[in-house]
Amino acid sequence: MFVRSFYDSDGDGIGDLRGLTSRLDYINDGNPQSTTSLGANCIWLMPIDKAMSYHGYDVVDYYHVDPHYGTDDDFRNLVAEAHRRGIHIIVDFVPNHSGSQNPWFQSALRDPHSPYRNWYRWSKTLPEQKGPWGQQAWHKSPLRDEYYYGVFWHEMPDLNYKTPAVRGEMRKVLTYWLKEMHADGFRFDAIPYLVEDGERLQHSRGTHDVLRQLGKAIRAAAPESFTVGEMTDEASGVMESYYPDQLDSYFAFGVARATVQAAATGDARGFLKAVARANEKFPPRRWSPFLTNHDQSRVMTVLGDEAKARVAASAMLMLPGMPFLYYGEEIGMLGAKPDEMIRTPMQWDSVANGGFTTGAPWEPLQGDWKTKNVAVQEGDRASLLNHYKTLIHLRNANKALNIGSLALISTDDTTGTIAVWLRTSNDTSFLVVVNFGGHHDPLYMPKLPLRVSDQGYRFESLTYADPAHACTGAFISANMEAQVRSIAAQGVCVLKLRPR
């Protein structure tokens, strides 16, 4: 969630923590019997530290809330109100670099003898070495004939984790947010680039060591906390190197890309390959599915079609791990680069400024806000918003769909459009059938990997289908063969299995 764009409580055009607190019931009203809220039980806040830029990834003060968003006490109150509703709050942590106006960097820049000098990397001459994607990563000092390292750009100088004091300070920052601010965990930004080991500029042994130390400090301070890391590299073996003892989870970028691609093209084969790899190579429940995030074009812009957006959401929310959705995704908000246009204000209703603010919004809303907003979709049982709500509540209510194991199921599909998997916990299983393509007639599954039962199994119910009659004629035989007579285009069905 981008706090700046969620809800403005004071009319200055900028979303804030008090605004978010006032809208918590939209996310989760705390009533397990209610299905009116979205049902999410965790919120990741994009950076709220005091920073130089609107996006917050150039931090100048790691210990305090940016005044645009409110006060430290506003954050503590948000956490208390969230906890009262069963919602956890994790905050964005930016460990790779500070902002150039951070007092640490300003001291190091101005005084070669500063105690903060070794908190950053310096060179008297311009190194020939480029950054990890071939970019210029060494930047000329504005004060003297020297250069400093900043992998993203000159206003974000990289911290030097080879200096023990930097590691100590970051442990202190993390502990402060857990102990004093009562946060429930962290999303770690840009983790591959923390330590440069010679020519190794990403995924270095030093980076893994730092993550291991920081993860250990977090778990010591708050054993029930949760951490998730941003690591976009899909190359074989890379994600695996970040397990088992660094952060708790990592965003599954490969699965996300494959999910959106499958919905866009109707071809499920890449999706099946990505899910199979994650299920085999990554520890259970320690990879996080999503569709798109704050750095990517919004999923509705990519797909351009609600039916495709619905099937993508269904697939993502029926996978294991902790799935994340980007604010506004649930109503089909649009947005493409530049970044400001994928971080526009939330569209709440059809009144002025979409109900986001009584003032002038920091960024104009998307052009469809009058017809595409929360109020309109809450009143439509078949809306995208209610589709998301149903899937999330279904997941929350069933242990097998939440923390159960995943087994991909072989079928006789020759079109390449079908993905089927089984989610299981104890004696309860759900068969998830997803058709990314056009209408599909009989689908045969030769063997479901269910525990042997003298009584056999039966489909207890069609737990959810989208569209309403997406699947017909589901049947399972005594020897675990299963069949679905027909599956609608972009159809999804979730079928509960029980021993007879």
Tens digit of pLDDT for each residue in 28-40? Answer: 999 988 999 999 9
- Alpha-carbon distance of 118 to 483, in angstroms, equals 65
pLDDT band at 341 (very low <50, low <70, confident <90, very high): very high
Inform me whether the pLDDT recorded for 21 exceeds 60: yes
Superfamily holding 103-149: Oligo-1,6-glucosidase; Domain 2 (3.90.400.10)
Q: Enumerate residues 6+ apart whose C-beta is below 8 A from 286.
A: 243, 248, 249, 250, 321
pLDDT band at 451 (very low <50, low <70, confident <90, very high): confident
Catalytic residue among 189, 248, 329, 413: 189
What is the structure's pLDDT at 500?
Answer: 78
- Region(s) of the chain under CATH 3.20.20.80: 3-96+164-397
Candidate from 50-54, 131-135, 458-462 with smallest mean pLDDT: 458-462
Inform me whether the pLDDT recorded for 265 exceeds 80: yes
Interval 108-147: pLDDT, tens: 999 999 999 999 999 999 999 999 999 999 999 999 999 9
pLDDT band at 151 (very low <50, low <70, confident <90, very high): very high
What is the structure's pLDDT at 478?
Answer: 86
Residue 215 tokens, joined: 């993860």
Residue 412 annotated to the active site: no
pLDDT band at 453 (very low <50, low <70, confident <90, very high): low
- Alpha-carbon distance of 47 to 206, in angstroms, equals 25
Mean pLDDT of 41-53: 98
Mean pLDDT of 92-112: 98
- Region(s) of the chain under CATH 3.90.400.10: 103-149
Whole-number average pLDDT of the chain: 96
Residue 61 annotated to the active site: no
Catalytic residue among 29, 169, 209, 230: 230
- Alpha-carbon distance of 371 to 421, in angstroms, equals 36
Cis preceding-peptide flag for 442 (omega within 30 of 0)? no
What does the angle CA 422 – CA 423 – CA 426 come to, to the nearest 5 degrees? 120
What is the structure's pLDDT at 454?
Answer: 55
Percent of the chain with pLDDT over 70: 99
pLDDT band at 498 (very low <50, low <70, confident <90, very high): confident
Query: Whole-angstrom distance between the N-terminal and C-terminal Cα of the chain?
Result: 44
Quick one: CATH architecture of 3-96+164-397? Alpha-Beta Barrel (3.20)
What's the CATH fold of domain 404-499?
A: Immunoglobulin-like (2.60.40)
What is the structure's pLDDT at 22?
Answer: 98
Best CA proximity match to 242, nearest among 303, 292, 199, 188: 188
